[in-house]
Chain A
Amino acid sequence: MSKKSYRQAIAEALTQEMRRDPRVVIMGEDIAGGLGAPGEDDAWGGPLGVTKGLMAEFGRERVLDTPISESAFVGAAAGAAATGLRPVAELMFVDFMGVCFDQIFNQAAKFRYMFGGKAVTPMVVRTMYGAGFRAASQHSQCLYPLFTHIPGLKVALPSNAYEAKGLLTQAIRDDDPVIFFEHKAMYDMEMEVPDEPYAIAFGEANVTREGDDVTIIAFGRMVNLANEAADNLAKNGVTCTVVDPRTTSPLDRETILETAEETGRVVVVDEAHPRCSMASDIAGLVAEEAFGALKAPIKLVTAPHAPVPFSPALEDIYIPSVAKIEAAVTEIVEYGEKAAAE
């Protein structure tokens, strides 16, 4: 056990799985970097240095730099997975899914079903998501609801370094295609992470706080904001359960419903746009399956239905915040009290 960043945890999972299984290859734009150029080799290790050093250990045959051709190399990952490799493709920003989505949702996701159960497509697409980098509308989106919508895909959203290593290890060992979402604002966040390999099962939520008044279900980076909000609220006597589903597909419906029923009040925190989001998905689930236990309306804390803005002044108010989560919790805690007063 030692302190590792989210970036180091991801690199460690890749390194350990590549050592364990020679069929694991990684590919992407500048995933090593400097190929064919006069200067330093392995110049980048991906745009944020996550894969730096892997080329030195595993060579160019298993650390495959690609041209800027997302359709070709994401499709190649699907074809390689269907024929015996276990590729991990890096889609630099999830915003670039627009140029390669067919290869993910019409090809990789559907092989097994369309081919009568005879195909196995163990590929991972690692991709960077999320706002907060002043990267504006085409480099800041979340988009995981779009992938969650597609049968045949699994979607993982690690909320910290420990989760990142365990979920990525599982993703690489998994026999289905997995889209693995890394929040760009978390790469430098550190915590204790075991040195040995470990896998975190998909579809098993992690309850990060336990409380009596409100259940907060949060995704990816938002789990950290929800934890902070819960800690602040506890000082004022409002206690919250915080649920990190870890994966949006499969989804741990049981833990979500059980914790929702225990408190009778639900806040969902999702950095994606509100329409057809994880927030609306969870709200629908709770309304359908746990209506009788609810003491207050379900509250959604999400980004607005607008592209991510560039200006720091706008982006800061665009992203869900600890204050907004606290306000939502307080509102539904007071809902019953107000009704009683009237």
Chain B
Amino acid sequence: MASGLQLSREELLVAYRRMRTIRDFEDKVHEEFSAGNIPGFVHLYAGEEASAVGFCMHLDDRDAIASTHRGHGHSIAKGCDVEGMMHEIFGRKDGLCGGKGGSMHIADLSKGMLGANGIVGAGAPLICGAALTAKTLGTGGVAVCFVGDGGSNQGTTLESYNLAKVWNLPAIFVVEDNGYAESTASAWSVGGSQVGRGKGFGLATHEVDGFDFFAVFDTAAEAIELARSGGGPSLVHMKLARHYGHFEGDAMTYRAADEVAALKAESDPLTIFRQRVTETAILNGADLDEIDGAVQTEIDRCVANAKDAAMPTESDLLTDVYVSY
């Protein structure tokens, strides 16, 4: 498979647009949540865009992903309808999940997006199941579990490494280590190392700079190729960081005073992407500026429409508990 820097101009524009969409989506949700316009619990993915997009650029609708409570980025990267997502986060009837799921449960199975998940570590077993489906039905699909450093300590995740190995599943576990499980540092909470854990279960392992789209893209290519060819599961330790708190409203007093500012200045995946593609003259700044403007307009439109959209009504309360009952 081609290295990320050999991607076509069109593919690079798609990748950048997706990352920019995630960033603007999250920045806008932050703004609207702060203004009191969004109910419930919201966890933002800004700063981690290269991970979701670098992986999902390799996936299509036969492939499945499971996400976390921090799921907006994975959903956008996997092709969920962005406006439907925004309506969902605002609790609207025409949201992607009819307003029944909200930020923590955004899903679209037709896109292979098995859901953001309110239970930390719950996605890994589900991905074993999706991978089993692909293997049993011979679809050629793979299944990717995004799990945080916090979720990496759940028994479900570790059991799933083992099950994926003994069933030789086309599964990939992407441990997005943003440095903190809620307010607790992964440096403290993770015994051993992520890669060491993967090796312990016999998985192919990688450690990758999650700020660098191209590094992610190349690593993902390798892990996905292994899975598609029947070579079994991989673990990718993705080192990255989030721009916002664990949840919206988190004062982040556990972080160093200058940490987020330094992160934005030195390790922003969008800035790094821009530098790489303009330095190598594959794209020019104007190409990217044009996307920036278009995405901003698009996200503003999604928010405006979401605010105007109808709420669900009492007649929606008891629908879709069962297929039949």
Interface residue ranges, A against B (CB under 8 Å): 23, 25, 61-62, 64, 66-67, 69, 71-85, 87, 102-103, 106-107, 110-120, 151-152, 154, 174-176, 203, 250
The verdict on B115 contacting chain A, using a C-beta distance below 8 Å, is: yes
Residue of B nearest to A71 (CB): B156
Contact: A83 with B97, CB < 8 Å?
no
Contact: A111 with B163, CB < 8 Å?
no
Stretch from B122-130, B223-231, B297-305 forming part of the interface with A: B122-130
Given A72-B160, A76-B163, A84-B137, A114-B100 contact (CB < 8 Å) = yes
* Contact residues in B for A112 (Cβ distance below 8 Å): 320-323
**What are 20 A-B residue pairs whose CB atoms fall within 8 Å in the complex?**
A69-B159, A72-B156, A76-B125, A76-B128, A78-B129, A79-B129, A80-B130, A83-B112, A83-B133, A84-B133, A84-B137, A87-B132, A103-B126, A106-B122, A114-B107, A115-B101, A116-B98, A118-B97, A119-B107, A120-B323
Give the docked Cα–Cα distance between A209 and B125 (Å): 45
Give the docked Cα–Cα distance between A23 and B139 (Å): 13
Please give 9 more A-B residue pairs, beta carbons under 8 A apart, in addition to A62-B136, A120-B323.
Answer: A66-B163, A73-B163, A75-B128, A76-B129, A79-B129, A83-B109, A83-B114, A85-B133, A112-B320
* Contact residues in B for A113 (Cβ distance below 8 Å): 100, 320-321
Given A76-B163, A83-B114, A151-B321, A106-B119 contact (CB < 8 Å) = yes
Instruction: Point out which of A64, A76, A111 has the most chain B C-beta atoms below 10 A from its C-beta.
Output: A76
Contact: A82 with B159, CB < 8 Å?
no
* Contact residues in B for A75 (Cβ distance below 8 Å): 122, 124-126, 128-129, 156, 160
The verdict on B162 contacting chain A, using a C-beta distance below 8 Å, is: yes
Interface residues on B, range: 35 or more
Selected from B97, B108, B133, the residue in CB contact (under 8 A) with A80 is B133
Give the docked Cα–Cα distance between A71 and B137 (Å): 23
Contact: A175 with B324, CB < 8 Å?
yes
Give the docked Cα–Cα distance between A117 and B108 (Å): 10
* Contact residues in A for B101 (Cβ distance below 8 Å): 114-116
Selected from A73, A80, A103, A250, the residue in CB contact (under 8 A) with B122 is A103
* Contact residues in A for B323 (Cβ distance below 8 Å): 112, 120, 174-176
CB distance from B127 to the nearest CB of A (A): 6
The verdict on B96 contacting chain A, using a C-beta distance below 8 Å, is: yes
Residue of A nearest to B162 (CB): A67
* Contact residues in B for A85 (Cβ distance below 8 Å): 129, 132-133, 136-137
* Contact residues in B for A117 (Cβ distance below 8 Å): 98, 319-320
Contact: A67 with B129, CB < 8 Å?
no
Residue of A nearest to B115 (CB): A115
Give the docked Cα–Cα distance between A175 and B108 (Å): 18
Contact: B109 with A76, CB < 8 Å?
no
Contact: A72 with B162, CB < 8 Å?
yes
CB distance from A105 to the nearest CB of B (A): 10
